Amino acid sequence: MPEALLEAAGLSRRFGGLAAVDAVDLRVERGAIHGLIGPNGAGKTTLLNLIAGALAVTRGTVSFRGADITRWDAARRAQAGIRRTFQNLKLFAEMSALENASIGLHAGTHAGIFAALARTPAQRAEEERIFARARRALEFVGLGGDAGVAAGKLPYGHRRLLEIARAFVAEPALILLDEPAAGLNQTEAANLSRLIGRIRDAGCTVVLVEHHMDVVMSVCDQVTVLNYGRKLAEGRPAEIQRDAQVIEAYLGRGDAPPSKHALA
């Protein structure tokens, strides 16, 4: 069996009486694009937040590269190589696209307050490296022409890409994409699918929460389906599309198998 980069065991998160994520086991293989789908409210984003460390787990464990990271905070996980995007875009609106991407390199770089005050040669060299890498990340996602534009002034589709550039810039081991295709048109979604493939080819493992079934079915190696916070099914995209439980969860009880679009 291929090596697991990320493993969740019995992962649960309760909000008051509601079990948003309920005893989920998840195994993400190194180098995979792992889809996470399910109806609205199934707990996909909550699960992503538990993996990223944005929410504390109620029960269960998360391990990454074999280390138990359940108690690590979000910044430490980011430093260790888990980066994410946000479904409802959390960019630094007043900063340029280039500066947004440069923040993604904060964890891997070192110059502190005194180095900045003294403008040491090491600090200046690091600044140059940061901006060169940030620029490459913008070009990678196709935002090379927008480097100087304030994030808040970018068109919507470009903001989605900037979220990805900021998460990808440090070339993390694991990248968590939370509905990157939301609000994109067909052409943009197709470009996004290719981009996700290129991110994997660059050596990042991807966890993809997505409603857009064309994207999920075209890029994912493995798909996990959540419903009411529980794992409903898991398998290759083609298997998932035929799974009776999955069809029922999405469409209610029925006989006809759903088309790709109906699943969306």
By CB under 8 A, name the binding residues for another protein.
52, 54, 73-76, 78-79, 83-84, 86, 90-95, 99, 102-104, 106-109, 111-113, 115-117, 119, 123, 126-127, 130, 148, 166-167, 170
Eight-state DSSP code of residue 142: T
Q: How far is the CB of 103 from another protein (least distance, A)?
A: 5
Enclosing H/E stretch for 234: strand 230-235
Q: In terms of DSSP bridges, do strands 4-15 and 18-29 run parallel, antiparallel, or are they unpaired?
A: antiparallel
Strands (DSSP E) contained in the chain are 4-15, 18-29, 33-37, 59-64, 67-68, 82-84, 174-178, 205-209, 222-227, 230-235
Of residues 66, 64, 95, the one with CA closest to residue 80? 64
Strand partners, 6: 28, 64
Nearer to another protein, 152 or 257 (CB): 152
Integer angstrom CA distances of residue 2 from 31, 137, 196, 210, 246: 9, 29, 21, 24, 26
Radius of gyration, alpha carbons of the chain: 19
Nearer to another protein, 111 or 264 (CB): 111
- Rounded Cα–Cα distance for residues 197 and 128 (Å): 29
Q: How far is the CB of 181 from another protein (least distance, A)?
A: 20
Q: How far is the CB of 84 from another protein (least distance, A)?
A: 5
Nearer to another protein, 123 or 193 (CB): 123
Q: How far is the CB of 75 from another protein (least distance, A)?
A: 5
Of residues 138, 127, 205, the one with CA closest to residue 169? 138
Q: How far is the CB of 10 from another protein (least distance, A)?
A: 25
| Residue 212 · residue 224 · CB < 8 Å | no
Those residues with Cβ within 8 angstroms of residue 221's Cβ, 6 or more apart along the chain or in another chain: 29, 32, 33, 34, 236
Q: How far is the CB of 251 from another protein (least distance, A)?
A: 34
Tokens of residue 154, six digits: 């970018």
Nearer to another protein, 2 or 148 (CB): 148
Nearer to another protein, 158 or 166 (CB): 166
Nearer to another protein, 123 or 241 (CB): 123
Q: How far is the CB of 126 from another protein (least distance, A)?
A: 7
Nearer to another protein, 25 or 128 (CB): 128
